[in-house]
Structure 1
Amino acid sequence: MDEQLHRYAPTHERARKLVAATRELAARHQQLAIRHQQVLTAYRARLHAGARPAVRTPPPAPETADTEREALLREIQQLREAMTSRPVIDQARGILMVHAQCGPQAAWNILVEVSQRTNTKLRRIAEMIVTAHLEDHWPPGPGSIAEQVQACVARTTAADREPRGPER
């Protein structure tokens, strides 16, 4: 029996040390949580009293600030363009869905494929599709975009008609 206890003694001692270390960490964590709550309460009191926060961040370096500002302005411009072009793109998708009798994802894929094949912005392709639908003809100029749209629609509808494997 003593041999069995002696065999597990190192493991038991290590477990005891782990329990003691865990208790120490829990006590330290509780102290930190109390201190955090005190700091948070003091900070809120200062804010309600109208005082400025004690922690101040240094102003960024001028060249960093300019770079960040320019990046933010570019992002704002891109988001504005996306907001204005989104309805036109959705209208073009709807027109393609009706014309090609396909789903929204297939219509999106058609727009993307035409955009990539003609190296034209997707927004511009969508505008041309909506204009062509409203005016009942494609705008004058090279017919490559009109031909690409028709070819992509034909490929999409042909792919949709291909027999698929047995449905499960």
Structure 2
Amino acid sequence: MADPSTLTHPDPEGGVRMMDASQKSDSARTAVAAGRVHLGEEAFRRVREHDIEKGDVLTTAQIAGIMGAKQTDKLIPLCHDATINGVEVDFTFNEDEQAIDVRAFTKSFGVTGVEMEALTAVSVASLTIYDMCKSVTKDIRIGDVHLRAKTGGQSGNWKSKSEDTSPAES
């Protein structure tokens, strides 16, 4: 277990508090997150052919992902309100898996990172794909939501060992 004196969120009484970031310096920060939505044959085909009754699945999911990134501090307890300077959400059809790969890139200049915003964008976009396709099948799986890379801040740059793409190239 971690030394309680080094933890950033517990208060002296053992409750929780938001970490004080006021002494941190502003810096450019980016994050890339990814995930996968397994749809199955029919739903995958219908999304690709724009044949879902609710409308354009990927455009709606893209907007939802961007909105989700902007609302991260309202959804995740103790998450700072980051100034988001840019959010990109995009999709790739994964034929072999009959899945849609979801990727989000977030960018900020501030005192806190934007990893949670990228992860939230992927999660909300994925949930939107599920919502729009559930009339075709309920057998939809959302998975492998993970941080691929981040830049900036005190901890510096980081890239997942299983990824070969830098945030700037993602």
TM-score by length of 2: 0.25
Bigger share in strand: 2
Bigger share in helix: 1
If asked which structure has higher relative contact order (CA below 8 Å, sep 6+), I would say 2
TM-score by length of 1: 0.25
Larger Rg: 1
